[in-house]
Structure 1
Amino acid sequence: MKKAATRDGYGQGLMELGEYNQDVVVLSADLTESTRTLEFSKKYPGRFIEAGVAEQNMAGMAAGLAFEGKIPFAGSFSVFSPGRNWDQIRVSICYSNANVKIAGSHAGLVTGEDGATHQALEDIAITRCLPNMVVLVPCDALEAKKATVAAALYKGPVYLRLAREKTAVVTTFETPFEIGKALVLREGDDAAIIACGTMVYPALEAAESLAAEGYSVCVINNPSIKPLDTETIVAAAVQTGAIVTAEEHQINGGLGGAVAEVLARNAPVPQEMVAVNDTFGESGRPKELLAKYGLTPWHIVDAVKRAVGRKQEQS
């Protein structure tokens, strides 16, 4: 299967936007190559700003550009933005509802050898709690490009979560993308796996493995963490009676928590969460880290079986 990093899709989306939208401006915190903004800086130097290693300043600059009618995309590693400049994002961008797009690259364990200090595992939690903020976690490079374009069209703050590692491309050019919408990739009746980002393909692999054991499992790609597609999530809960969430993020405050909030209010059913269990990462190869911290298809398989077992105990 073809593989590409979601950060590549972000760079491609910026190049497309730069061609037809003169208001799009790109900012970088001395990471143009890593965040895939280098080509934009070369082709549109008049609409590119190198902020240097100063993420707090970059957030303020982006807010000012937005107030002057521009559509700024501010990119850095996600541990630095939104990690290091959360206060500036909260006050200068979200409180003012400024039309700023924050691109956090190198998120999650698949940042690999860079280790715990560079593996953002809390960024979904700290952004989705902010009023006015939209949080998007595309599952592959194609979806990342669509999410970047959609972010430019949306009026208000947006956080785009991106990864360094190449991952399987599971969508196509025709696959729809809309802020606030999830997409059912596979139908099923026994349980539903709701996944985002790099965990979508492992969720599909898990469903395929479970099918060989006689389980019928629905798989939902949920790139829009906020706003959440409540209708699709509730429908899956009602149809299957068992939910599993899968994300490359801390178990607290991420997709699993967001889904649990929806289920508690609308359709309480057994839920299991596949996520990093309240710990920091470490330096290592991406595949090794995903295995150690419980983020493989086989961990999803076990979670589905637990959720189905709990459902059966309640019936």
Structure 2
Amino acid sequence: MLLSVRDQFGKHLAQLANEDSKVLALDGDLGNSTRLDTVEKETKDSFLQMGIAEQNMVGVAAGLASVGLQPWVCSFATFLTKRAFDQIVVSVAQTNFDVKLVGSYSGLLTSNTGKTHHALDDLAMMSTIPNMTVLAPGDANETVAAMNAMYQTKRPIYLRLTRDETIPAFLTNLDFEIGKGKTLREGTDILVVSTGSMTYRVSEAIEKINGVSIAHQHFPTIKPFDKELLLEGAKAVHLVITVEEHYIRGGLGSIVSEILSEHLPKKVYRIGVSDAFSGCGTDDELLEAHGLSIGKIKEQIIKKWNEGFK
């Protein structure tokens, strides 16, 4: 069943706000796209329209958190992280305030908006900040579970959300603990590691591959990373492959490579966006162009296995 991540995000944040008057939604004039306008429609006093002024929005959120409120700041991921990075570091992270930062329209899948709207470095940027937790759920149901964990955790958290409307509610284990990954499939030849919007496509690609024993791990928490689960899965295989809707440097692939190089050296192949700005196109066109469609992921897994491990 298809279930929109952004729709569920808006509905659940409205529910949290109705249940707790300390929960506030700060919008950067994109509520219709991010679905933050659901909070405006379904709550009385929990929605604050901040306009196209991301730096100020983050500063206001820090002020609200300083008096015991829990602000949820939402904008397109590339605007929130790039335009307000200094305010995030100084006003939110250094103070360790309970501010929730929601980067909607992450990655490539932003509906023909082009390179200016693509967030392909946000995981790298946010995971380098001390005191910052970074989450990237795989479907709509896991998004709700992640939001519940965020609400209970009184510190800065960045939530990376996809606009993609084609991902079904496919994750069956909805237990969510910040800092924990999930093993979706066991295997002894290859370990494929994914996060966020790519986890569903990886699952579909693996189902189409025969003759290779493939394990699959999903990491909805990028920071802190579940090092123990990764090492446990990597021990059993010959090759590790990472897949992410992000640049291959600084994101999931880099984190996995760093951990394995220190604790369990393995051959790692990274699937993601290379060192180039993307173009304007449909979601399917962009996924195909960057090797992130189900078919392209399948091809690359088979190719890497055949090159040295068959």
TM-score by length of 1: 0.94
Quick check: 2:3–2:169 contact (8 Å CA) kept in 1? no
Structure 2 residue 104 is the aligned partner of structure 1 residue 71: no
Structure 2 residue 49 is the aligned partner of structure 1 residue 50: yes
1:61 paired residue number:
60
1:110 counterpart SS class = coil
2:289 paired residue number:
292
Runs of 4+ in structure 1 deviating by more than 4 angstroms, as ranges, are: none
2:232, 2:301 → 1: CA distance?
18
Q: Against the structure 1 CA distance between its residues 204 and 170, is the aligned structure 2 distance closer, same or farther, given a 3 Å change threshold?
A: farther
Q: Against the structure 1 CA distance between its residues 157 and 23, is the aligned structure 2 distance closer, same or farther, given a 3 Å change threshold?
A: same
The CA deviation string for residues 41-79 of structure 1, in whole angstroms up to 9 with x for no partner, is: 123231221111100000000011111111110001111
1:226, 1:77 → 2: CA distance?
20
Quick check: 1:180–1:227 contact (8 Å CA) kept in 2? yes
Q: After superposition, where does 1:104-253 map in structure 2 within 5 Å?
A: 104-172=103-171, 175-210=174-209, 212=210, 214-253=211-250
Structure 2 residue 85 is the aligned partner of structure 1 residue 83: no
Structure 2 residue 280 is the aligned partner of structure 1 residue 283: yes
1:205, 1:173 → 2: CA distance?
15
Quick check: 1:270–1:311 contact (8 Å CA) kept in 2? no
Q: Which residue type is aligned with residue 282 of structure 2?
A: R
2:298, 2:77 → 1: CA distance?
29
TM-score by length of 2: 0.95
Quick check: 2:96–2:156 contact (8 Å CA) kept in 1? yes
Aligned length: 310
2:288 counterpart SS class = helix
Q: CA RMSD in A?
A: 1.6
1:93 counterpart SS class = helix
1:29, 1:244 → 2: CA distance?
36
**1:293: how far off?**
1.1
Q: Which moved more, 1:295-304 or 1:108-117?
A: 295-304
2:248, 2:235 → 1: CA distance?
24
Structure 2 residue 31 is the aligned partner of structure 1 residue 32: yes
Q: Which residue type is aligned with residue 159 of structure 1?
A: Y
1:102 counterpart SS class = strand
Q: Against the structure 1 CA distance between its residues 172 and 272, is the aligned structure 2 distance closer, same or farther, given a 3 Å change threshold?
A: closer
1:256 counterpart SS class = helix
1:8 paired residue number:
7
Q: Which moved more, 1:232-241 or 1:166-175?
A: 166-175
1:167 counterpart SS class = coil
Q: Which residue type is aligned with residue 58 of structure 1?
A: M
Q: Which moved more, 1:4-13 or 1:142-151?
A: 4-13
The CA deviation string for residues 80-131 of structure 1, in whole angstroms up to 9 with x for no partner, is: 1012111100110011111100001111111131000011111111100101
1:143, 1:235 → 2: CA distance?
23
Structure 2 unaligned spans of 5+ = none
Q: Which moved more, 1:5-14 or 1:97-106?
A: 5-14
Q: Which residue type is aligned with residue 298 of structure 1?
A: G
1:292, 1:310 → 2: CA distance?
22
Quick check: 1:142–1:169 contact (8 Å CA) kept in 2? no
2:265 paired residue number:
268
Q: Against the structure 1 CA distance between its residues 170 and 39, is the aligned structure 2 distance closer, same or farther, given a 3 Å change threshold?
A: closer
1:293, 1:48 → 2: CA distance?
37
1:21 paired residue number:
20
1:123, 1:30 → 2: CA distance?
20
The CA deviation string for residues 275-308 of structure 1, in whole angstroms up to 9 with x for no partner, is: 0011111111100110011112233234433554
2:130, 2:84 → 1: CA distance?
16
Q: Which moved more, 1:159-168 or 1:127-136?
A: 159-168
